[in-house]
A and B are shown apart, each in its own frame.
Chain A
Amino acid sequence: MKHFLPFFGIGLFLGLLFIKSEVASWFRIYEMFQFKSLHMYGIIGSAIVLGIIILKYLQYSQAKDFSGKAISIKPKDKGVKSNLIGGIIFGLGWALVGACPGPMFVLLGTALPSILVLILGALLGTFVYGLIKKK
């Protein structure tokens, strides 16, 4: 349970953010894929632009993390096929139910049992991927 509070606190902040910014709303995701609003593009775009600046700054200043260790960010696994096909499958689900893995959990706050079905499906999808993945 070490370090519970800092991570819980970040989660709490993210939870409020997902709802107050409406990124956890099915309607916003639908609207995004219809290209009718700047809202989602503004959020994702500004997060990425600032994220690039932040990570570049941390890299060039050779910043340490809070525990004093050098910050190293693991590169993402390469593989055009898996990234593209996996991405497409994810996108189909994202647009159908309007929720990606973070917002899926925040929507439990609606107290709707349908969200449990959604999360059950996501766990099943993860499990089946693990079953069929070649070692």
Chain B
Amino acid sequence: MDLIYNPWPWYVAGPLIAFTLFLLTKMGKKFGMSSNLKTMCSIGGAGKFADFFKYNWKKDVWNLYVVAGVIIGGVIALQFLSPTAPQIHQEVVVMLQELGINSTNTAFLPTELFSIESMLTVKGFLILLIGGFLVGFGARYAGGCTSGHAISGLSNLQLPSLIATIGFFIGGLVMVHILLPLIFNL
């Protein structure tokens, strides 16, 4: 029961991700989440505006089934399996307080960013929308995201994936160390 109600340590979670990669490969598919965003755009009619979305998206529908499972898995884990707030390194708690984030160690997501109150402010709304935009745009530009490049691509010893993963970290470090303090103190 501990495994159901307690957080999973890295040495459990990492191998389970590798196991998922194995299963999808054996099923003749690849592990990649961001291509679903493209599929959704295509289904929504984006092909009328750009040839990029004109392709046989029906062959990628299996990945939407994965997304459906991910969503239901999230509902189960978040609503029924008593998700605990991640317990973050004490130094990081202090760093976040300096940014005005005080929900650390008490919530799964920072309420300062994800609460309805925050979402209904112009700044809060823009952070969510622009953050999502960068993820969607960058993933397609790079040809993959954390799952497609960092996990699948590096597992397959792909140089493009190494370059993309280095990019993920450059972007992430710039955001956390330079831009976030500016954004939160605006």
Contacts and interface: CB of A to CB of B under 8 A. Distances in A.
Interface residues of B, number: 127
Contact of A73 (B30, B70, B137, B140): B30
A73 to B, nearest CB: 5
Main SS at interface, chain B: helix
B37 A4 contact: no
B65 to A, nearest CB: 4
Contacts of A115: 114
Nearest to B105: A27
Contacts of A10: 20, 23-24, 66, 69
Interface residues of A, number: 114
Contacts of B155: 47-48, 51-52, 54-55
Nearest to A17: B16
A30 B86 contact: no
Main SS at interface, chain A: helix
Given A20-B81, A126-B139, A94 B146 contact: yes
A113 B166 contact: no
Interface of A: 3-4, 6-34, 36-48, 50-52, 54-55, 58, 63, 65-67, 69, 71, 73-80, 82-102, 104-115, 117-131, 133, 135
Given A47-B15, A76-B149, A127-B46, 4 more contacts: A51-B18, A55-B155, A91-B174, A112-B116
5 contacts: A25-B86, A27-B92, A93-B136, A114-B124, A122-B133
